[in-house]
Structure 1
Amino acid sequence: MSPVIALHEDLQKRLEEYRSTRGFSPVKWIEHKCAALNEYMASHGLKVCVTSVSGGIDSAVVLALCSRAMRMPNSPIVRNVGICQPICSSAWALARGRENIQSCGALEVIVDQTELHKQLSRIVETAVGIDGQNFARGQLRSYMRTPVAYYVAQLYSQEGNAAIVMGTGNMDEDGYLAYFCKAGDGVVDVQLISDLHKSEVFLVAQELGVPANTLQASPSADLWEGQTDEEELGFPYDFVELYTGWCLQLSDEERQSFLHSLSSDARQQYEKYKDACENTHRRNAHKLRGPINL
């Protein structure tokens, strides 16, 4: 799989213009989001936040936001729980996940389902008569983490501390690409970072003090050794931000003018990344619509 080439300078210039117009302030956003979370928790009688922690930047930010909200005056949150669920996972994923939990003072829960995954996949494959390939077994890993997160939430609720499962999807990956597992990390109660571009997630992470091991790592779903999200997708997250935040908002006339303003190399890269981006969106769009009622 070929490394993804960063945005051409022509496209990078447009991206910086868009970011300037957006004027994102991580400090103001954090304050607003934590207040909104506390208000929601209080109005619904909720006391515990449960987050599946992967070792990636998104879950680290959500967990840290819950901790920040919990420390605010009169917060209804009494527990902030981070769950690490290694299933045939790389060592770095668990190490980073635990570091992220400890750095923000959350409660650590580790549930290793590796052997259960091996047993369950084998049982199902034998019953169906089909051997599962890497992608199918990888999806099962995500499926299996969902009931654990909700069971942890149920256990806290059972003890009188009503709990919810927090989502970790951002605007680029989940909002447009639908780059998530429909019955896995797509099943949550509340999304905190769905209004953030991936670049903004990193800015918030810096402000919240997310550990450097996570901040400096290339985003990866840990699907295989050395896998990175951008290489799998075939385009950088910066392009998704540019395309969804700026290009899709243009009129047809404005878009044509923009394309004509690009150098040949920049236009070629734009078309290549646009096609790959749109293909991913179309392929995954069913995840954004929910069940189809016929």
Structure 2
Amino acid sequence: MAPPSDTVPPPPRTPSAVPRARRPHPLLAPVRLLRRHAVVVAGTLALAYLLVPNLVVLVFSFNKPAGRFNYEWRTFSTDAWTDPCGVADMCGSLSLSLRIAVLATLGATVLGTLAAFALARYRFRAKGTANALIFLPMAMPEVVMAASLGTLFLNMRVAFGFTTILIAHVMFCLSFVIVAVKARVMSMDPRLEEAARDLYAGPVQTFLRVTLPLAAPGIAAGALLSFALSFDDFIITQFNAGPSTVTFPMFVWGAAQRGTPVQVNVIGTAMFVLAVAIVLVGQVTANHRRRSR
């Protein structure tokens, strides 16, 4: 039998004495919902703000202006889409820009990938200096780099034209490729390559079957970024192009002074749709591989 206690037990609480839970005010529900998804909402608004100019270009590619300037909406027309090369020299400049962008992307991707592996995997003197110098083309104003390259070509007595533009584009795209590939290489697990060597794979076989597939997303990201930067560059191209070499951005700049044709909006919309399609294909492929595992 339990000994008697000196303390008196508290009286039982009646239902009226139990505190009631506060009900949230109905007007505060949207505020709480917005606070819970603030990051998603902010990201969506930022993305929509970035896509507004592309939407304007898409809409005005179906416009039929009354004069030379395609700045006011007049009437719906598909004439520019059925004849995208209706403006003289526009498709020639577009072809030149695409050739330069493809070659500059190949050169910058190969050199940048090799440099990224060297900086991420090996130790050598002045490695810190090399890492700092890589960011100079990215941080330097583009007009300074353009003027420097133009002065270099003048002192070397190199004729301005296709070759000088290609060299300049490879130089300023190289840093972006190195940064993208280096970030991917540093995140790779070296034990996977060690396991391949333990299974009697040679250096070439290990690189082709293990290292290169693992580094492929970074290489692809650097290549796509390099192509986009090379295709729409104007300042560096303007300083290093010859008098008879006109790329697509230079053509747009010259045409804007006399009247921008609707076909420019058509080319811009087509390039935007192509870029979005490449990104979507990459995402679908990555999701399919992830599910297959």
Asked if these proteins are the same fold (TM beyond 0.5), I'd say: no
Q: Could you tell me the TM-score, scaled by structure 1's length?
A: 0.23
More helix as a share of residues:
2
Of structures 1 and 2, the one scoring higher in RCO (CA 8 A, sep 6+) is 2
More strand as a share of residues:
1
Rg larger in 1 or in 2? 2
